[in-house]
Structure formats: C-alpha cells, structure tokens
C-alpha cells in the first residue's frame, strides 16, 4: 500500500506538475516531439476517462426493455388465416403488456420520450 501511496502522491504528482502544457492555445505549435511523448499517457488517460464517462451517460440503445429477455432474438409468427377479427394491431414499440399485440402503451412511451412509435395494423379485405 505504501508503494501505491508513494506512486500517487509523489511520482504522479511530479509527472503532472512537469507536464509541458502551453500557456496559450497556439503554444501547442511550439511543443517538441519529446513534449508530446511525455504527455501521451496524460492525454490517453484523459481520453479514456472521457470514453468511460460517455459510455456511462449515453442514452440506452436498447429498444426492447422487457419482452422475452431470456431469448436471444424475439420472433413472433402469426398466420393471417388465424386472425379472428377484421383488424389486428401489432406492437412496434416493445412496451405492450400483451406483446406482440398493441395495448396502447406506445402512447405513454411517446409522451415520455418524444418518440413517434405506433402499431402495425393488419386489416382483412372483406
Ligand atoms: S403498445 Fe407498442 S405499438 Fe402500441
């Protein structure tokens, strides 16, 4: 623990204190290759922390929050001949409690997120 403490309190502090950070933006142009090499771990560390922060704070990319999550892929096959009514609405927002059928949950989802999801409506010709 003492070695880690020394590394952080002494070595890291010295490293940061000696970084050749220019006083102005155009001072970057006067940095030597040796300066850039010296700053590489610092710039890499800042970039890595920025990347981790972005990964932590970015909006979720998942469109299906709860339907059949144990499955690797959710597939529903419906035979159109089995339709009992003239019109059936299928969910495309993944929020329906009756998935794959639409239960109107897309309205709350759209209100909450500003999205514009709606069902796929299949009608029989009569
Ligand atoms: S509930 Fe998902 S589209 Fe209607």
Catalytic residue among 34, 73, 123, 124: 73
* CATH number of the domain that residue 99 is part of: 3.40.5.90
Cα separation of 42 and 36, whole Å? Answer: 10
Decide if 72 is inside a domain: no
Range of the domain at 101: 80-123
Radius of gyration of the chain from its Cα atoms, rounded to whole angstroms: 28
pLDDT in tens, 55-95: 888 877 889 999 999 999 999 998 888 888 999 999 999 99
Q: Are residues 86 and 53 in the same domain?
A: no
Q: Which of 101, 111, 117, 120 to mutate to test the pocket of ligand 1 (most atoms within 8 A of CB)?
A: 117
The total of structural domains in the chain comes to 2
Decide if 107 is inside a domain: yes
Cα separation of 43 and 94, whole Å? Answer: 41
Q: Which of 65, 90, 105, 116 to mutate to test the pocket of ligand 1 (most atoms within 8 A of CB)?
A: 105
- The residue behind tokens 């609405």 is 89
Decide if 47 is inside a domain: yes
Cα separation of 19 and 36, whole Å? Answer: 10
Decide if 30 is inside a domain: yes
pLDDT in tens, 12-24: 999 999 999 999 9
Decide if 117 is inside a domain: yes
């Amino acid at each position: 623990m003492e070695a880690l403490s020394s590394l952080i309190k002494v070595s890291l502090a010295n490293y940061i204190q000696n970084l050749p950070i220019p006083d102005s933006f155009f001072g970057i142009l006067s940095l030597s290759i040796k300066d850039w090499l010296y700053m590489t771990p610092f710039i890499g560390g800042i970039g890595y922390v920025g990347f981790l922060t972005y990964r932590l704070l970015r909006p979720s990319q998942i469109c299906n929050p709860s339907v059949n999550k144990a499955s690797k892929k959710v597939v529903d096959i419906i035979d159109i001949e089995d339709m009992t009514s003239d019109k059936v609405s299928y969910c495309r927002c993944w929020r329906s409690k009756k998935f794959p059928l639409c239960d109107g949950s897309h309205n709350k989802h759209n209100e909450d997120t500003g999205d514009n999801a709606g069902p796929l409506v299949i009608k029989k010709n009569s």
